[in-house]
Chain A
Amino acid sequence: MIKKDGAKNWVGQALPRKEENRLLRGRGKFADDIKLREMLYLRFVRSPYAHAKIVSVDVSAAEALAGVVGTLTGAEIAAQTQPFIEIGPDPCSRIKDFPLAVSKVRYQGEPVVAIVAESPSLADDAAELVQVEYEALDPVVDAEAALTDKSVLHDEAGTNRVWNGVFEYGDVDKAFREAAYVVNIDRMHFHRFSSTPLENNVVIAQWNPKDERIYYECNNSFPSFAIQFLSAHLGVHIDRIRVETSDIGGSFGIKITSYPQMAVCALASKKAGGRPVKWVETRSEHITSSAHGNERTFRDTRVALDKNGVITALVSRHIDDCGAYPRYEPLGCVIWSQVFPGVYRFKNARIDFTQAVTNKCPVGPNRGYSRMQHLWFLERVIDICAHELRIPSDEIRLRNYIRPEEFPYTTPNGCVYDSGDYPRMLQVAKELIGWDDWKKRQAAARKEGRLIGIGIGTTLDSGTNNFGQSQIVNPGAPFSGNSQGANCKLDIYGEVVVSVGSCPQGQGHETTAAQVVADVLNIHPDRITVRTGFDTERNVHTGFSGTYASQFAVSGLSAVHGAAQKLRKEMSRLAAFLLESKEDDLEFGSGEQGPEIRTTSTGKSINYWGLANIVNVNSAVLPPELYELTLNCRYIWRAPFKVPDKQKKYGSLTLTYASQLHIAVIEIERDTFIPRILDYVAVDDCGTVINPPIVEGQVYGATAHGIGAALMENCVYDAVGNMLTSTFSDYTPITAMNMPKVKYAHIETPSPHSYSGAKGMGEGGAAPVHTISAALQDALFASGIMIDDSFNNADSLFRAMVAKEISQVEKLVKVERRA
């Protein structure tokens, strides 16, 4: 691979992924590939009930089975550990969350007993022998019903309400008084779905009795967060917990919340005398019990608009369902506000946000975490207003978009959108899909009675969190800012080695980090080794390290860039001494003996091996003033955040705002009600692109995930809390077989908030969910049907249309028209 003609930098080049060679040949190392001597295998006995008291637990028959080494119960764990930290304030902080149920179960699939045996099969057999007697309690499977507290999940909290707060900005009442139109929307609902990584959760833990250290090999995607929870829970100093990750087969955020299983495996290892214990999650366990995305209901929405259809104010009441335990929540109660107005200019808004626990699987950060629910809500609002006021869906967006000249744009709640050009994205997308042509074809098809809709979804992917937003939900939370670490060194033989604090799951960090360092040192990226995976003992992590929330291109690569700059500076000082030159007379490049530094005036040079040799093994050559050089440079990058105003809920919550604009053309078959995508366009703007194929791949991935979520993936529970979609027969993630052809384009509005102009990306803002809802709405509006749910398949569309025909649908939307 060589740079394109005229290209100055490796950043921006379509460099093939360094990881590809390993991963595509089956030579990756995943956690389940690891086999340790005397390793044991753990299996969970899980609750069949969504809500029940545990009357008794009898593990005697399981323990008597040959090959079973031991069992663990919730009572045993509660006796030797502290409950997990709760991020939220009272009453959330009163919840006692242990990794195994102690006296109650609160969702179907909650772990109750852990079995440890010599083989996975023996552990399976033993699990069938455990007798647990339950006394069923009334389950709560709806967040609005949960708020009545008729059946309380956590007695110690005394309520199912986890958190409530009002986010109010501008002069809402005045805007409504002056509005030309007020659109009222009774209820909308964002459904519960999850992610389907190729590799499920895996934990290997070893509690070494000799030094009381815990060693983990796992695929948790936010290890620095996990060890903070585990340290407090297990009563083990954080430095005694080592976490390593290797290749990870996808996470999408869901693997952040595997720390309860990590705790159980460590305690099981301790009980087994220090033998390593491995747990490999089954697919059904993953679907029912790992983590789901947040489900959210939007109530009593009122939208004020002027006579041109420009939104001037918005009020709404949002109820979020976080499942049985808050865990990473209630952070989701504030994270949505990173994108408070979406891509729109309205300044006046009041949103009353409440979160409740229910007898369902706990939620976890799921690709587009918390923001996608809100962005879907805003896109539904804009399309409903468009249809009701008979304004074309593209036109109403153009009237409401934040304009390109307004960037950097400060939102009503103090977030600063770094850059963007939404009208241009719309223009590019319309040209790519052939908007005018599709409009004509749609009109002709409608005359034939066909149901064709064209929908636009504009969305944001906010990246690099200010963890100070946690103080908006809990003023006592000890988190703020964001940072990432990296190390760049010349090894003894002159090899450039880079370590980062991320744990990539397919995002190409090895490649993009090499591109950044290659530019700093002016060498080929193949000359750079980027270490795979995360390891606490590399000492390059901060408390925020991991891979999540669309941030590596900014936080990770800024750290890598900083470390490479430090290394370059040290190499310059050393080379200037050795070549008897001045630093400003040196140039970095490659010569006959590989990477080198040479003087421009004399042509003398020294290669990397020579530099590394002197610092590492030939140091008597060095003068005292250069003793500080190590050629082993650690750099911590810090995001320039301040602590937000907790009372006003105001401040910069995220550093970069990538944007996506999708357009879908969908036909609902008249006979089968199956929605079929006829055409699909995705336009992306993540600022300066580090590596185009990597960006494009993540756009396709996020698009696939979103299309699956909109049409195929739904976590369905019955009235007593049985999850009815626990296998791929019922929970059907999208595959290549269902994926439509996606036309892709990108624009670049460089971010002023990152050194390279790049913005974090990869989550995609769930653009397809918004877009598909909009297209279905467009197809069905003439039939008097409102799309009020984010999940729509043939069955739900059939029910909506039948209900309409027999006049059972109450009108969800009412418009007040003022002269």
Chain B
Amino acid sequence: MEYEIIMGLEIHAELNTKSKIFCTCTTEFGGEPNTHCCPICTGMPGVLPVLNKCVVEYAVKAGLAMNCTISDFSKQDRKNYFYPDLPKAYQVSQFDLPLCKNGYVPIIVDGVRKNIGITRIHIEEDAGKLIHDQWETGSLVDYNRCGVPLIEIVSEPDMRTPDEARAFVESVKAILEYLDVSDCKMQEGSLRADVNLSVRPVGREKFGTRTEMKNLNSFRSIFRAAENEAKRQIRELESGGTIYQETRRWDDNKGYSYAMRSKEEAHDYRYFPEPDLVPVVVDEEWLGRIRASLPELPEARKCRYISEFGLPEYDAALLTSSKRLADFYEEAAAGSSNAKAVSNWIMGDVMRILKEKGLEAESIPFPGSYLAQLVSLIDKGTISGTIAKKVFDKMFETGREPVSIVKEEGLEVVNDEAALAAAIKKILDSNPQSVSDYRSGKEKAFGFLVGQAMKETRGKANPQLINKMLKEELDK
């Protein structure tokens, strides 16, 4: 039986406003516990919230960038439940009248483009953090994060594979970064995803029972959790079991998920309109001002790279997938006459090394101009392609300029014919067998001798000269 996976995602992104959603405490990450707090964000008796204007604007920006309709009238509601990280015992969120609705985000997986529907985007406040104390006698509560503004982006159940889920989160992350409304640091928790997944036999219309996996905070865990859960559900159904609507915790280290200790019944959040806050009306004028302030978004930037830099779609998509990466590319391309080479270096060596070290583009320790410089050194023939790779690795290690690295380590291409002749003589003398092999018609021996010559000159020999001079010597 063939099964189809149906996935919808809810992404929570912390907005990088200066102050919290309802009070003037800082939203800065970290800090000693309970040092970014006041009576309002710790829910003391008698306090009242006042909405941060920037939160509304950032949410509207996100909505516009994701092709949503912006509600001209929206309100906030109380979501009531008891948990120690929620000081008021209710979270101020938006229930039936969210700020943004009915949008979409385009993704490309394996060259195929698809639009993932956005049901809604709404604003809400984040809760505090629970720390489990070392002696396990209790849990400790830190309210620093309480009141940090969040947008919740809810997708339609349009994703069908773990790759699509990952691509969706990547696209949303890129959009939010381009808008500069969130720092999207998944490892710090400022971007987290919940995956809702169900399976159904191909051809059946009715959706299966879905499970929810919460607070996945890396692309890897989103992918693996989705993949694993789909397999689990299929396995369960094939063996005649039942899928229960439940929340599961994904353990990325162990590579499996388990049902969370059953909360006796589904939460009854008893939503009602927040009486301490008034509705938000976004009129045409305000909306126009926000729209005018939108920067170039990933999709538009990608198209520009295709037309302006002549890059193929695949390359353009990769380069614009992260704002920092795109900025880096443009910095480099601006300082170079060889945009294609720059692009190849980024798509090749830069991406490789980031992947190896598990880093994001933000961690590239040198500016784009340095990459332009490296490409220019190669194009001018100052260094060979092989040496260039060494220089690049050194740039990543030290963050220093390629010109300095080449100079200090004497990596320039050797064009001095006398020096090359000496090197060639040396290897010909030390490899008589290969010489006779070549002279007796074995072309392969030539390659070996070239390799030896390059080795002798520690890769710095001008390869064309080596080739020419070696051939001349051997053909004598």
Binding between chains A and B: no
